Structure 1
Amino acid sequence: MNTFWNNITKFPKFLISVIIGFFLTTLQPIFELLKNKKKRLFLTILACLLILTFYQIFKGMLGLN
């Protein structure tokens, strides 16, 4: 029974490492793009426009003033 609990305690550590690995693998190409000044400016403007668009959509959907 002791080995059962030892195995169970390993799963949260494994899950956390998988999640961190997923985000590092997913975001690594974006970090590579940010090294170039022109691409960094483009991605910053794109992110701002995306956030502004979502803000306007949610504002309209929820009827906020």
Structure 2
Amino acid sequence: MSNFWVNLYKFPRFLISVLIGFFLTTFQPIFKLLKNRKDKILLITIIVIIMVLCYRIIEIMTGNI
């Protein structure tokens, strides 16, 4: 039974390392895109459009037009 608790205590470190690995592999291509000025402007524009769309959708869903 003590082996169970040892494994349970190791889980938070495992979870943190998995999350860090996920974010590093996800955002690495985005960081490569930020090196070019043209790609940087395109990426920022896409992110702003997605944020505005999400805001408008949530605003319409909640009835705060």
TM above 0.5, yes or no, is yes
Deviation at 1:38, TM superposition (A): 0.4
Please, which runs of 5 or more residues in structure 1 have no aligned partner? none
Residue type of the alignment partner of 1:46 = I
Residue type of the alignment partner of 1:31 = F
1: CA distance between counterparts of 2:11 and 2:48? 38
1:1-65 aligned at under 5 Å gives the runs 4=3, 5-65=5-65
The farther-off stretch of 6-15 and 18-27 is: 6-15
Residue type of the alignment partner of 1:64 = N
Q: How does the TM-score come out when normalised to structure 1?
A: 0.83
Residue type of the alignment partner of 2:31 = F
State the Cα RMSD in Å.
Answer: 1.4
Please, which runs of 5 or more residues in structure 2 have no aligned partner? none
2: CA distance between counterparts of 1:14 and 1:42? 36
Identity rate of aligned residues, in percent? 50
Change in 2 beyond 3 A, CA 1:56/1:7:
closer
